[in-house]
């Protein structure tokens, strides 16, 4: 029974990713046509990002392993993707539902509130707003050379992006409704077992204080097994603030691309969360496929691809050597964990850098 539920969750996630990809593609085409860059639409590797992303998600060995292990990660991933899809489609109640459940199941999707608000306010990803302003001022001023048909085709939609408040307010109301409902159900269920306070202490408190030191593919378990007691609280704060600190700079720089922002947030939280697993990596690798058009010329892609394969193969071997055979020690396994987090760092940094370069390239084309 659990198998079926997890497989269905996986499949629905893939379908939602595909639908999100289609929406993104539509928005991209519209923006590029408005900016009068039809050449880019034809010349660039015009992959159907939605199909590619859903196929990557379904065929990723990490996702398959998660399903076979009967983890609850596919359900977490489903909720996150549901949030993103619903926000792209401007469905506030559904987005609120996904957001509340994703936060309830694991704490870290709470940081997705910013991309969700931006998605609901501005709509799906688009080139920076400055380009639109530039374009509109250009078109008002001095371009008799422009085609009339393109202008007429475009004036009906894609005006200057303005932040629409109504979906966001709806979202907030629905978030409060859904969270009250979920907490009410939890309190009924836990009446004899300590109530809501016990639940928060044992779920959120456990995630934030890193109570259990079992090995996983992250770096926190060994760190907190070796750090001196005096510094434990300090380093807990350091690790969690590292996730929180990056929210604002990324949001400032990438506010015109909220879907990509959501991808970067999921990747950062998958790297720095207290108990990471391959299910989290499966999620952001699937979402990476949504931006295949923009990230086509990402640096180090060869290194990253084979790095992921190498770490996925070496990590279980080192775990076996350490725990089952006793011929290795903890450092072997921890080294693969460190390499894995380095790879994730490189992936995040390079994808952000490539996306910004893509925007600069668009700007160059528009202004030139």
Partner 1 sequence: MASLRPLSRGPFLLLLIFFVFSLSLLRPIQGNGGSDGGGGGEEFSEELLLKPLPDRKVLAHFHFRSAAPPSAANGRHHHLFPKAIAQLVQKFQIRELELSFTQGRWNYERWGGSDPISTRNAKPPGVELWALFDLPTEEIDPTWKNLTHALSGLFCASINFLESPTAYSSPYWGFLSNNGNLRYGALPREAVCTENLTPWLKILPCRDKAGIASLLYRPSIYKGYYHSQRLRLLSSESKGIILEQTLTVVLQPNSYTSSLLSSSDAQLQPSWSLSQLFKKEMTGKCVLAKSSKIFLELERGLLEKIVEIRDDSWSNSFFDLFPSPDREIKELENSNGQVGSSLYEYKVDNSNENKPLDVGITWKLPLVWSSVHAPFQASRFLMGSGNERGSIAISLQSTQTHDQYFGDLNDCTVPVIVLQVVPWYVKVYYHTLQISIDGKPQTLSDVIEKIQVTPSEDKLLPGTLEIMLRFPCSMLSATLSLDFDKGFLHIDEYPPDANQGFDIPSALVTFPNIYSSRSYPDYDVSDDSSLLHNLQEKYLVRSYTEVLLVPLTTPDFSMPYNVITFTCTVLALYFGSLLNVLRRRIGEEERLLAKKDSARPGLVPLLFSRLSSKLKGRKLLLKVVFVALVAVVWHYFLNSS
Using the minimum distance from each CB to partner 1, give the nearer residue, 41 or 237: 237
Using the minimum distance from each CB to partner 1, give the nearer residue, 55 or 227: 227
* Cα distance between residue 173 and residue 181, in whole Å: 12
* Cα distance between residue 338 and residue 352, in whole Å: 21
Q: Which residues contact 108 (CB under 8 A, 6 or more apart)?
A: 243, 269, 273
- Segment near partner 1 (CB under 8 A); pick from 27-35, 52-60, 302-310, 317-325: 317-325
Q: Is 75 left (phi over 0), alpha (psi -120 to 50) or beta?
A: alpha
Contact string 322-341 vs partner 1 (x = CB under 8 A): xxxxx--xxx--x---x--x
CB 34 within 8 A of CB 365: no
From the CB of 257, what's the least distance to partner 1, in Å?
13
* Cα distance between residue 304 and residue 126, in whole Å: 27
Position 226 contacts partner 1 (CB under 8 A):
yes
From the CB of 272, what's the least distance to partner 1, in Å?
8
Using the minimum distance from each CB to partner 1, give the nearer residue, 90 or 240: 240
Position 212 contacts partner 1 (CB under 8 A):
yes
Q: Determine the size of the site formed for partner 1 (CB under 8 A).
A: 46
Near partner 1 by CB under 8 A: residue from 352, 358, 362, 366: 352
Position 288 contacts partner 1 (CB under 8 A):
no
* Cα distance between residue 123 and residue 117, in whole Å: 9
From the CB of 336, what's the least distance to partner 1, in Å?
13
- Segment near partner 1 (CB under 8 A); pick from 4-12, 99-107, 223-231, 275-283: 223-231
Position 318 contacts partner 1 (CB under 8 A):
no
Position 193 contacts partner 1 (CB under 8 A):
no
Q: How many H-runs (helices) and E-runs (strands) does the chain carry?
A: 19, 0
Q: Which residues contact 287 (CB under 8 A, 6 or more apart)?
A: 17, 53, 81, 84, 262, 263, 266
DSSP strand E in 87-158: where? none
Residues 248-287 that bind partner 1 (CB under 8 A): 249-250, 253, 271-272
* Cα distance between residue 91 and residue 83, in whole Å: 9
Q: Phi and psi (nearest 5°) for 304?
A: -65, -45
CB 288 within 8 A of CB 263: yes
Using the minimum distance from each CB to partner 1, give the nearer residue, 97 or 221: 221
| Helix or strand run (H / E) with residue 57 | helix 49-59
Position 227 contacts partner 1 (CB under 8 A):
yes
From the CB of 97, what's the least distance to partner 1, in Å?
31
Residues lying near partner 1 in the complex (CB under 8 A) are found at 211-215, 219, 221-229, 238-239, 242, 245-246, 249-250, 253, 271-272, 322-326, 329-331, 334, 338, 341-342, 345, 348-349, 352-353, 356-357, 360, 363
């Amino acid at each position: 029974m659990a198998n079926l539920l997890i497989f269905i969750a996986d499949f629905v996630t893939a379908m939602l990713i595909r639908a999100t990809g289609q929406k993104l593609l539509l928005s991209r085409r519209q923006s590029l046509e408005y900016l009068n860059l039809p050449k880019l639409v034809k010349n660039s590797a015009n992959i159907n990002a939605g199909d590619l992303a859903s196929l990557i998600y379904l065929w990723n060995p990490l996702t398959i392993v998660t399903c076979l292990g009967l983890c609850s990660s596919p359900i977490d991933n489903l909720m996150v993707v549901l949030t993103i899809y619903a926000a792209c489609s401007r469905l506030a109640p559904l987005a609120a539902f996904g957001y509340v459940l994703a936060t309830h199941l694991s704490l870290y999707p709470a940081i997705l509130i910013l991309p969700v608000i931006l998605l609901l306010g501005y709509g799906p990803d688009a080139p920076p707003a400055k380009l639109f302003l530039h374009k509109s001022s250009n078109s008002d001023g001095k371009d008799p050379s422009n085609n009339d048909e393109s202008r007429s085709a475009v004036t009906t939609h894609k005006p200057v992006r303005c932040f629409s408040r109504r979906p966001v307010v709806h979202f907030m109301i629905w978030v409060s409704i859904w969270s009250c409902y979920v907490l009410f159900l939890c309190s009924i269920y836990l009446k004899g077992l300590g109530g809501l306070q016990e639940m928060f202490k044992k779920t959120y408190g456990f995630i934030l204080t890193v109570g259990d030191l079992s090995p996983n593919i992250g770096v926190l378990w060994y760190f907190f097994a070796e750090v001196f007691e005096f510094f434990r609280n300090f380093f807990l704060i350091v690790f969690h603030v590292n996730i929180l600190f990056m929210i604002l700079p990324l949001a400032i720089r990438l506010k015109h691309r909220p879907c990509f922002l959501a991808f970067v947030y999921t990747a950062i939280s998958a790297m720095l969360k207290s108990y990471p697993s391959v299910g989290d990596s499966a999620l952001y690798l699937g979402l990476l496929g949504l931006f295949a058009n923009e990230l086509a010329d990402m640096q180090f892609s060869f290194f990253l691809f084979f790095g992921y394969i190498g770490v996925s193969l070496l990590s279980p071997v080192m775990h076996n050597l350490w725990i089952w055979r006793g011929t290795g020690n903890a450092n072997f396994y921890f080294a693969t964990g460190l390499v894995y987090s380095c790879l994730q760092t490189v992936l995040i940094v390079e994808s952000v850098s490539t996306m910004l370069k893509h925007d600069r390239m668009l700007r160059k084309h528009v202004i030139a």
